[in-house]
Amino acid sequence: MTKQKRFLLAEDLLPRQWYNIAAEMPNKPLPPLNPATKQPVTVDDLSHIFASECAKQELDQTHAWIDIPEEVQERYRFYRSTPLVRAYALEQALGTPAHIYFKNESVNPLGSHKLNSAIPQCYYCRQEGTTNVTTETGAGQWGAALSYAAKSFGLECAVYQVKISMQQKPYRSSIMRTFGATVEGSPSMSTRAGKDIITRDPHHPGSLGTAISEAIELATTTPNCKYTLGSVLNHVALHQTVIGLEAEKQMEMAGEYPDVVIACFGGGSNFGGLAFPFMRHQFQTLNGQCAKGKRIDFIAAEPASCPKLTKGEFRYDFGDSAGYTPLLPMYTLGHDFKPANIHAGGLRYHGAGVIVSQLLKDGFMRGVDIPQLESFESGLLFARTEGIIPAPESCHAIAAAVREAEACKKTGEEKVILFNLSGHGLIDMTAYDSFINGDLINYTPNL
């Protein structure tokens, strides 16, 4: 047998439509509720804050396929299709009979999957006559992607970055400013919410909660300004399905079908992006069998310090710590949960998207929690074998893949493992320094 090509890359793999799993789930997710009236929120309610096309997509449970606008496809072609890579060197280092593949979402100029949703969100804003967009960002991946996307569609962009993260990862603010965005540490003096917090606590380090409050306030008090979000919501995961739709075709080209599909989990957008297109095969049954004849083990890898999937509770909760968002039916650790200061900033979120929460409840997927040190051990092994330094978030997916591959070594099974490399870690080198110096620790939350 000839050795497979390592890279499977072809521009015409880019899908023309996103896959909306909400239309095909056996049990639909419960509706988000207006906290004041306890009534389901409407597209109109959401359109005050978000682009109305995004608001529509958020609540759409009928159309399984949604057209990707031509101009968005053009922007995607700047960096898509992304490579599907067989990790031969990692397999060899582990001595596993498993076949390990990864979808490389780190190859775009911003270095993470976040751009896949920043582009359509900015596109819809511009189409609807919006001139300004705003958002919050923690580690800065989302803020960086949004800053670039906004600039490319001629929009002004204002980002509230968690103050402590801004000090820890100064280069991410530089990237945002390079793309023309204004960046403020949150809490700031530029909003009512920020002033209130600073008045009470002059040295407040900021949190995603404070930054969300400031961004929403700016969006609701500024004409022609919309708020955007980089994770958690249904329309964000919808945009990310380009990952799984490409991977589906690429796996076919490789003559393989996955037994295990893995992604790291913050709010669920890169997990949903890779998993949902494969999961639709599990809903289509022929004579009681999955359409492709195989059950896939879907694994969401979360940090042990923020374990909403494995230790959270399924209930209605707020999406932010201040309680400004609609009530979302989801697995949550409580909106006042304060995650430990781990380096995987993108995974420090108390809740999970509503679609993923329903799928977990219905047994279509499972969560695993990965301690910080194990995530970096696996990330380092990946870097040293495959030559790519992974984002601290992505290290969690790698660690889960390594666990599966090691289990195959014991049983001799030749499982096909597919994971998402959600981003590279080149702006996170202080985290790697700390790990190599032995300064990192594991955190177990008191729940």
Applying CB under 6 A, which residues contact ligand PLP? Answer: 112, 114, 141, 231, 264-271, 346-347, 391, 393-394, 422-423
Name the phi and psi angles at 77, rounded to 5: -65, -15
Secondary element (H or E) of residue 156: strand 156-162
- Least separation in angstroms between CB 283 and ligand PLP: 22
User: Of the two residues 52 and 375, which places its CB atom closer to ligand PLP in the complex?
Assistant: 375
Secondary element (H or E) of residue 113: none
Residue with tokens 């209130």: 196
User: Of the two residues 144 and 225, which places its CB atom closer to ligand PLP in the complex?
Assistant: 144
User: Of the two residues 32 and 345, which places its CB atom closer to ligand PLP in the complex?
Assistant: 345
Cβ-Cβ contacts under 8 Å for 299 (sequence gap 6 or more): 260, 261, 262, 365, 366, 367, 368, 400, 404
- Least separation in angstroms between CB 34 and ligand PLP: 24
User: Of the two residues 187 and 266, which places its CB atom closer to ligand PLP in the complex?
Assistant: 266
User: Of the two residues 72 and 243, which places its CB atom closer to ligand PLP in the complex?
Assistant: 243
User: Of the two residues 269 and 358, which places its CB atom closer to ligand PLP in the complex?
Assistant: 269
Going by C-alpha positions, the residue among 303, 445, 429, 300 that lies closest to residue 373 is: 303
- Least separation in angstroms between CB 239 and ligand PLP: 11
- Least separation in angstroms between CB 390 and ligand PLP: 8
User: Of the two residues 99 and 235, which places its CB atom closer to ligand PLP in the complex?
Assistant: 235
- Least separation in angstroms between CB 271 and ligand PLP: 6
User: Of the two residues 193 and 393, which places its CB atom closer to ligand PLP in the complex?
Assistant: 393
- Least separation in angstroms between CB 263 and ligand PLP: 7
Helix, strand and coil in the chain, % to nearest 5: 40, 20, 40
Going by C-alpha positions, the residue among 355, 398, 363, 356 that lies closest to residue 377 is: 398
Burial class (CB in 10 A: 0-12, 13-18, 19+), 302: buried
- Least separation in angstroms between CB 225 and ligand PLP: 23
Handedness of CA 147, 263, 365, 100 (dihedral sign): positive
Ordered strands of the 366-370 beta sheet? 7-8, 84-86, 99-104, 416-421, 260-264, 297-303, 366-370
- Strands 65-67 and 17-19 come out as antiparallel
- Least separation in angstroms between CB 358 and ligand PLP: 16
Residue with tokens 């707020």: 318
Longest dimension (CA), the chain: 70
